[in-house]
Structure 1
Amino acid sequence: MEQISTMEKLFTVIDNTATILKEELSCSYLEAVAETGENLFQGTILQEEVSELSKKRLEKEYSQVKLERHSVEEIRKAYQLAALKGMKEATQPNHQMTPDAVAIFMGYLVSKFTEKQKEFTIFDPAVGTGNLLTTVLNQTGTKDVEAYGIDVDDLLLKLAYVSANLQQHSIQFYNQDSLQPLYIDPVDVVVCDLPVGYYPNDIGAAGYNLRAKEGHSYAHHLFIEQSLKYTKAGGYLLFLVPNHLFTSDQAADLNAYLKEHSVIQGMIQLPLSLFKDEKAAKSIFILQKKGIEVNVPKQALLVDLPKFSNKAAMSGIINQIDAWFKKEK
């Protein structure tokens, strides 16, 4: 029989306690995951309406966990696994999570682009549950990183906030529409799994260069423009974009805007096997905001990733990417 990993044990406690709280508080499983995460972080049961019997059951479960014995990655994975379970139960289409392997790979890329910086600021304008942002932060090592996350969905933001606390990351979160004026200063790095689709607020879109000439504008185009606005000159932006980004009816406008304001550093196509439907396939799109010392790479980083499980092929790709960084950076 396989030994249960420490991450799985932690997930089991989160899952069991969330299930108890879901019944006691008459809330969704996803809301209960946020509540139980708060309890774990505070080391006490915060919900006053919980019955004495359930309180004893919760205390028994929590007593099995010593957070300081877990790595930040174990905590992140266990908590996100519970959030993922909750999202599958919910039917809201915006409740999607960046696949772990992709988030880890984006973290590797951010660490490469910020290699020479002792400290930097980072921002995710569609932070969701915080999985992408905290995965990236977990790979920055000892660097001093100031992080920001914004999301319009208050439940997802609460999950992100609790997850960040459990992993001991200091992230400033804002619950707002990221396509409206923001409360943050420009940052060194933007990471974002772009929300794909139409932005329903035509009045809010009116101030954007990439607004549609008629009808609703593409939210993912506006997110790119907004992100560039809140990036320092010379800063990097790493987006998860749909593969059809440059074949849409508004692609010419996007192309012209990117040429004016940024330098394309690379496009890394993710393995199609990651996506149920080929039409939903995505790539990592890497931009650098134009600035005085920004040079156009002799050759952009163009890569088709193999399956992440193919270790030999992935190792070859990593060597290829490392060689590109030595040559271009």
Structure 2
Amino acid sequence: MSNLDVRPAAARCGGREEVPGGPVRELLEPRRVPLGESTVVRRLLPGLGRRMVGAWCFVDHYGPDDIEDEPGMQVPPHPHIGLQTVSWLHEGEVLHRDSLGSVRTVRPRELGLMTSGGGIAHSEQSPRHHARLLHGAQLWVALPDGDRHGPPSFEHHAELPVVAGSGGLAATVILGELDGAASPGRTHSPLTGADLTLAEGTGARLPVEPDFEYAVLTMSGRCEVDGVRLDPGSMLYLGCGRRELPMRAESDSTLLLLGGEPFAEKLVMWWNFIGRSHEEIARARADWAAGSRFGAVRGYEGPRLPAPDLPPVPLKPRGRTR
């Protein structure tokens, strides 16, 4: 997954100073961003007011889009450093290729997890013969300093644990742990990612960790989370300090729960790179432009994605909110 902005703004993320010590209810407004040839996403993180939720630092929600007569997702080869990407689908398929030689079609409720380490390149596209609808989320997780220079990897997990909660709630654990169930995906900091389903008219109380900060993204349906009504595509930041999260579905609903320990390190996030300094980001951009470090993605028909120009002022790591 990629940030395809031709003039990407630097997001200065991390640090615990701006993490609320107790529960909050902060509705995050998305902005519409084109992704590839025919996909438009709703970008919820990073935003003007909120940059991170735990180690989660990038959230795009797209669809449901009717792509029966369209190419669908077409994201050319592009580089990453300092992060993990999480592909999560409710409908459709995404064909992943990377510079390790991985080729995998990710389908609904399967985990596609790529760890960039010191550098990796990948492409994402809808297969030539694809389903009519495409609906999912693209997510990034920031890697802590001790793990961000390690070897790159790609994992695909078709089977994930499901937690049955009270009131008809079911939760598929995408990453990390939830209510005693653990995803097989490798993590590098304490976090939670889960896909929640609630039937119309039902309510539930989901156990959560009081030391984690959380946010909930409504994928489909209409529901209330901690008393706040959410429509599809909206994201509610919840802060810390809860032991349970009350939810009630007005219609059949699906949500993504994202959470984790507040990420203490301060980051620079620019284009598809997460680093700790302007110099590190500039070096990664130069390596991509020179065709070194990141390897080649085989099998994608078309040119790779060129890196945009760096901004005229140095990038500085500070702050979780603007």
Report the TM-score, using the length of structure 1 for normalisation: 0.29
| Structure number with larger C-alpha Rg | 1
Higher relative contact order (CA 8 A, sep 6+): 2
